[in-house]
Amino acid sequence: MNRQNQDIDKLFKKYLKGTCKASELDELLDHFKISDKRQLSIYIRNQLESTVSAQIDQNKVSSITASAHINLMREIKTNQVYRPVKLWRWVAVAVMALFAIGTTIYKYNLSLNEDIVLTSQFGNDVLPGGNRAHITFSNGEKLNLDTTQTGLIYKNGKYSYANGEELKVSRADYATVSTPAGGMYQLTLPDGSKAWLNSLSSIKYPSIFAADKRSIEVSGEVYLEIAADKSKPFVVHTRKQRIEVLGTAFNIREYERRTVTTLTHGKIKLADVDNQHSLVLTTGEQAILSGGEVSKTTVEASDYAAWKDGIILQRNASLVETCIELERWYDVKFKFAANYNNYGRAFHSINRNEMLSSVLLALKHTYKVNFEIKGKEVLVK
């Protein structure tokens, strides 16, 4: 940390203790006026880590940091609409207020024996999903991947994160990256192809592709950008189908009883596992495999890949369909009242970084229902 940042850090801590002079407060506000969100994140995390007992699970610290940011960003949006003047000055005060007793709608309980509770009008709130995954090697080794990293790369026989930090692992023929409910991850395969894993998904790939083809196995929902190599066709296997490509980008979704393959650009050939049905997809086309039958249609392909960019995008969706998406990302279960009417449909563009309560508030007005959060269960009334 350079000298200027050290001084600002001291002022930040003095403010939290209530010992900041007027001139020091002005200096602090002026600094935040030109700071970016990354600096805000650093101050939030540093303050938490320096004041909270080291015995507390670091996941709790991450949860507080995430909720602080989400609350802050929500307030920034409101401010931009109603009070655009001196935005950064207000933001600085808002960030500091997050840590002042009784000044935020969220309640942070840092007792060693209690979990952090985030409250909302629907009950205890739920944090959104994020970068969470683990990698299992064919030699039996298993590692939890760093949640703060933006991606995993395998190159020249070594695994590393996007920032260059290497993973210390023994050599293995295969690796499987898996995401839990509320998790997603991005990785680069040995040939330079890229993969994005949505929640409850996996990808298995070799450390070295064969000389004549490149084969991987996927489950759940995975978006792939395949590096072009005409001499080595790329083959993707799922439980129900086989897809052969040369160089293209597409989304595979195989959560429910049907498999949906959407081509963003390029050309692919797919067939069911029994090779009874096959077809070719071109840019903007989608294949649906269900009940042993396969059909093809033209769609807005980018809609089906929006999740990797942080958006749940649905057209003409029922509340039940929307809740299925939310269950995977927020790791909750929705329970509908026996008399619930599922006839309403709507367009949704949901930011996956929002707290669950913010999403429920929008759905409440759209579908004319109410919600109650009880732990990992959400009641629809």
In three-state form (DSSP H/G/I as H, E/B as E, the rest C), the secondary structure along 271-302 is EECCCCCEEEEECCEEEEEECCEEEEEECCHH
Based on the domain organization, do 340 and 274 belong to the same domain?
no
Distance CA 260, CA 23 (A): 60
Task: Specify whether 32 is located in the same domain as 149.
Answer: no
Q: What residue type is assigned to position 302 of the chain?
A: S
> Are 288 and 327 members of one domain?
no
Residue 86 covered by a domain = no
- Most confident residue range from 68-77, 91-100, 120-129: 120-129
Domain range enclosing 348: 310-380
In-domain check, residue 62: no
- Phi-psi label, residue 18: left if phi above 0, alpha if psi -120 to 50, beta otherwise: left
pLDDT tens column, 47-89: 544 544 444 454 444 454 554 544 444 444 444 433 333 444 4
Q: What total of structural domains would you count in the chain?
A: 3
Residue ending a domain, among 254, 270, 305, is 305
The partner residues of 272 in beta bridges, in order of sequence, read: 241
Same domain, 291 and 319: no
Residue 276 resides in a domain: yes
pTM of the prediction?
0.70
Nearest-angstrom CA–CA distance, 194 and 336: 38
Res 111 pLDDT > 90: no
Q: Indicate if 161 and 232 belong to the same structural domain.
A: yes
- Cα separations (Å) of 45 from 5, 48, 60, 295? 14, 5, 11, 50
The answer to whether residue 315 sits within a structural domain is yes
**Residue 295's domain is classified under what CATH number?**
2.60.120.1440
Q: Which residues contact 93 (CB under 8 A, 6 or more apart)?
A: 29
Q: Does any domain span residue 65? A: no
- Domain termination residue (choose one: 305, 327, 352): 305
Examine the domain organization and report whether 268 and 349 are in the same domain. no
Mean pLDDT calculated for residue range 175-181: 96
pLDDT digits 0-9 by tens, 182-232? 999 999 999 999 999 999 999 999 999 999 999 999 999 999 999 999 889
The verdict on 138 and 235 lying in the same domain is yes
pLDDT at 36: 46
